[in-house]
Amino acid sequence: MTLTENLYENLRLELRRGCLTLAVLAQLKQEHYGYTLRKALAERGMEIDESTLYPLLRRLEAQGLLTSEWREEEKRNKRFYKLSADGEQIFARLIEEWNAINTSIANLL
Amino acid sequence: MELLDRYLQAVKKHLPWERQDDIIAELRANLEAQLEDKEAELGRPLTKEEAEQWIKQLGSPIQVAARYQRQQYLIGPTLFPTYWYVLKLAFMWATGIYVVARVMTLAAQGSSAEAYAGIALGLPGMWLINAAIITLVFAVIELSGTQFGAKIAQLPPLNPGWSPLDLPPVGASDGENKPWSFAKAVAEVVFGCLFFAWLLLVPHYPYLMFGPGAWYLASLPYKLAQAWWPFYWSIVAINGFELMWKFADLTGGAWQKRRMWRHWAMHTLSLIPLGILLAAPGQQLFLAKSAAANVKTLADANLGLHKALMIAVAVVVLQIVWHAGKMAVESYRKRVAA
């Protein structure tokens, strides 16, 4: 990988990082466990690696944006995540910010 | 799927120890659901090559586990897994080399018990110097820029060229954590009884232990000192005690329970026979049987055995401390999980 490609990759990942959090919060307005969340995001065009998504869920939960519970489904114990009350508030504010950035970028381009 | 089990086991090793079980349970549920979907789509189980390919694209175990680590500041998240790995290796090797080298030096000099105790007192200082040097080196690498740090992260064991097929088999590292089957427990008691009977017969029929060599040994002008009898009976008592313990577990329906505690207790008891030999009067474990005995050979043999016993005691003590540490960590993890 050349230096330019390396730089592009770093910037792309940086750009995606915040968007991923927003996408995950948006999708967790309804309850999901890790794998179905990943599928639901992929179906909407937001592909996320397992090794990125699953630790991200843990971090968001530790920050109080998500709640989780272990429950059995289809004879297997799964950890289900959902947006917490705090998460809903922060998500609403982040969406406002997202829309503002989108508008600005559209004006700049 | 066995390959998935091996992968999860490898990831677990590098996870924060207090959250290992929880993270692995979640990861397993997600990956198994994904595997089911893949197989349903194909209408057949994955081939070995497909399974290898799938697991490989999940990422190397150390990198996947690294995502679950808390943020570090002195050494960044890219470098930290390598730093931690090197630190653990260095601790292990440095401790082993230090202890063996010091014990051998002291044994050769015929030093006192206080000198041996000094080995343990020197350990913290040695660990501290090791940790300081390694931390300093990695902190410098971290500070020297992301370009260099990224190159380091490509070195083994973080190398992307890893293969899931190279992972150790399931249970190779923590076999004692697996539940014991009834058949294994019965076999253990049966073979324990046979071994016990063999042990009781050995003094009367030495060829059971030495084979034809028993007659040759009997012809030598040397004999065993009296200290070997209490040594022998202590071995018999310890084996009898362990056998009864196993039998009680079996009849009490507790053959599946964890065996760490028993293992540790038996290890500790093994110090008794070693101590009996070490306390032999004048360190004389072999004696002359006739005038044909070579006095120098006899003295050398007694001295050599005494030194070997000292080293054996040091090794057993280290193992006892190591197992006690493992049990303490295990018990703490259980409390955290509860």
Same domain for B40 and B94, yes or no, is no
Same domain, B220 and B325: yes
CB contact under 8 A, B26 and A50: no
Do A35 and B33 count as a contact with CB atoms less than 8 A apart? yes
Q: Looking at the domain assignment, is residue B316 inside a domain?
A: yes
Q: Are residues B215 and B294 in the same domain?
A: yes
Task: Give me the CATH number covering residue A89.
Answer: 1.10.10.10
pLDDT band at B225; cut points 50, 70, 90: confident
Rounded Cα distance between A12 and A86, Å, is 29
* pLDDT digits 0-9 by tens, A53-103: 999 999 999 999 999 999 988 888 899 999 999 999 999 999 999 999 999
Task: Tell me how close the Cα of B199 comes to any Cα of chain A, in angstroms.
Answer: 50
Please give the Cα distance from A66 to B73 (Å, whole number): 26
Of residues B23, B86, B117, the one with CA closest to residue B313: B117
- Alpha-carbon separation of residue B265 from A76, B271, B272 (angstroms): 38, 10, 12
Q: State whether B216 and B142 are in the same domain.
A: no
The yes/no answer to whether this complex scores an ipTM above 0.85 is no
In angstroms, rounded to a whole number, what is the distance separating the alpha carbons of residues B118 and B99? Answer: 11
Of B10-24, B85-99, B247-261, the range with the lowest mean pLDDT is B247-261
> Confidence class of residue B50 from pLDDT cuts 50, 70 and 90?
very high
Residue B262 is assigned to a structural domain of this protein: yes
Q: Is residue B150 part of a domain?
A: yes
> What is the predicted pLDDT for the residue at A87?
95
Is B163 part of a structural domain of the chain? Answer: no
Average pLDDT, chain B: 82
Per-residue tokens: B284: 């004389």
Nearest CB to A35: which of B23, B25, B30? B30
Measured in angstroms, the CA of B25 and the nearest CA of chain A are apart by 8
Domain limit, last residue, from B114, B131, B157: B157
CB B277, CB B231: distance < 8 Å: yes
CB atoms within 10 A of CB B173: 13
Last residue of a domain, one of B29, B60, B91: B60
Q: Do B113 and B17 reside in the same domain of the chain?
A: no
Strands (E), B168-264: 222-224
Q: pLDDT band at residue B147, thresholds of 50, 70 and 90?
A: low
* Distance separating alpha carbons of residues B337 and B329, to the nearest angstrom: 12
- One domain, residues B143 and B185: no
Mean pLDDT of chain A: 92
Helix count (H) and strand count (E) of chain A? 4, 3
* Mean pLDDT, range B290-299, rounded to an integer: 81
pLDDT digits (tens, 9 = 90+) for B24-47: 999 999 999 999 999 999 999 999
Interface test mutation site (partner B, options A10, A13, A35, A56, max chain B beta carbons within 10 A): A35
Q: In what order do the strands lie in the sheet with A32-33?
A: A32-33, A76-83, A66-73
Which residues does chain A have within 8 Å of residue B31's beta carbon, measured at their own beta carbons? 35, 50
Establish if B141 belongs to a structural domain: yes
- Closest Cβ–Cβ partner in B23, B25, B30 for A50: B30
**Look-up: residue for tokens 């007192």?**
B121
By C-alpha distance, the chain B residue nearest A74 is B33
Residue B67 in any domain: the answer is: no
Region A28-48: mean pLDDT is 94
Contacts of A54 in chain B (CB under 8 A): 26-27, 30, 67
Question: Which among B25, B37, B58 has CB closest to A50?
Answer: B58
Same domain, B101 and B243: no
Structure tokens at B274: 């070693």
* Residue to substitute from A51, A72, A78, interface B, most B β-carbons within 10 A: A51
Task: Report the alpha-carbon distance of residue B209 to residue B195 in Å, rounded.
Answer: 12
Domain that holds residue B21: 2-60
A21: containing domain: 3-108
Domain count, chain B: 3
- Domains: count for chain A: 1
Q: Does some domain include residue B226? A: yes
Interfacial A residues in 47-76 facing B (CB < 8 Å)? 49-52, 54-55, 58, 76
Q: Do B181 and B315 share a structural domain?
A: yes
Separation of alpha carbons A13 and B260, rounded Å: 46
Tell whether pTM > 0.80: no
Q: Does residue B167 form part of some domain? A: no
Whether A52 and B67 lie within 8 Å, measured CB to CB: yes
CB contact under 8 A, A54 and B26: yes
> What is the structure's pLDDT at B53?
92
Residues of A whose CB is below 8 A from B149: none
